[in-house]
Structure 1
Amino acid sequence: MEYVLLISRLGSQIRETRIRRGLTQARLAELAGLTRQKVIAVEQGVDTVAMNAYARVLSALDCQLTVIPAAMPTLEELGELFE
């Protein structure tokens, strides 16, 4: 599976979790000790963001990564790869 898709999925899940918990990007950045711009990059799945930033955001959300087999990409996800 394309790594860009995996990063995108992770960013989307982080964004959805932040929203469900009623946090703004600014508040999450504060909790994670990052800038708001870095949280935006994490949520957008920017491939130059260091794993450390993902770990800090996940920790601030009281979440952890779990490794599971990748699901086939949806048509929407495939389309986003070519934008």
Structure 2
Amino acid sequence: MDYALLTTRLGTQLREKRLNRGLTQAQLAHLAGLTRHKVMAVEKGALSIGMIAYARVLGALDCELTVVPAAMPTLEELGDIFK
């Protein structure tokens, strides 16, 4: 499984969780002790962002990371990889 796809999926899930909680990126950044730009990068699944930033966002959303077998990539995800 491509590691970039995994971070993209994680970022997407975090964004969805933030939106479900009715938080803006700025509000989440404040709760996580990060900048809004760092939260934006986390939600994009940026590879340059350290695990601590992902952990801070998870903590601010009262979530934790669970390891499960990876699902096969969707056609949309495959298309994004080859952009």
2:70 maps to 1:70: yes
The 2-side partners of 1:54 and 1:38 are apart by 9
TM-score, normalised via structure 1 length: 0.99
Give aligned-pair identity as a percent: 69
Provide the alpha-carbon RMSD of the alignment.
0.3
- Deviation of 1:52 after TM superposition, in Å, equals 0.2
- Structure 1 segment 3-82 matched on structure 2, within 5 A: 3-82=3-82
Gaps of at least 5 residues in structure 1 are none
Q: Deviations over 1:44-67 (max 9, x none)?
A: 011010000000000000000000
Which ranges of 4 or more aligned residues in structure 1 deviate by more than 4 Å? Answer: none
Unaligned runs of 5+ in 2: none
TM-score (structure 2 length as normaliser): 0.99
